[in-house]
């Protein structure tokens, strides 16, 4: 069970980059805030709680805010991009994201990983 422990204000310029498994198209959404998330908040047997920071974006056509990993199965999350970077670095990062999207689409098509694991 995933639980948001703390919400942190986002600085301007951060975007989450996604792609469509249907057509490979890349798109981005502004990160509206960051969340400290616990994947296992109620651990009782002495195991470590799993925490991480996750960007929160507008989902469901802007009607809700959710984590970058809370999207439909046909949308893949690639990473974050700071739009304040020099234009050349942004182009390099987007080329990297395009390559990652192609690889993930090939893995899904090959059937090596279940849809919910990619």
Q: For the chain, give the mean pLDDT.
A: 85
Q: What is the pLDDT at residue 51?
A: 85
Lowest-pLDDT choice from 3-7, 10-14, 52-56, 70-74: 70-74
List C-alpha distances in Å: 10 to 5, 38, 61, 117. 16, 19, 20, 28
User: Residue 71: its pLDDT value, please?
Assistant: 80
> What pLDDT digit, counting tens, does each position of 25-79 carry?
999 999 999 999 988 766 677 666 788 899 999 876 666 788 888 888 889 999 9
User: Mean pLDDT throughout 89-96?
Assistant: 97
């Amino acid at each position: 069970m995933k639980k948001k422990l703390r919400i942190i204000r986002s600085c301007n310029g951060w975007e989450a980059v996604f792609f469509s498994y249907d057509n490979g198209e890349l798109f981005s959404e502004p990160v509206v805030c960051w969340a400290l998330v616990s994947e296992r908040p109620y651990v009782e047997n002495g195991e470590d709680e799993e925490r991480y920071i996750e960007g929160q974006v507008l989902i469901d056509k802007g009607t809700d805010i959710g984590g970058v990993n809370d999207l439909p199965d046909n949308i893949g999350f690639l990473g974050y991009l700071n739009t304040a970077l020099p234009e050349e670095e942004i182009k390099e990062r987007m080329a990297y994201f395009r390559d990652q999207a192609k690889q993930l689409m090939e893995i899904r098509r090959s059937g090596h990983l279940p849809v919910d694991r990619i």
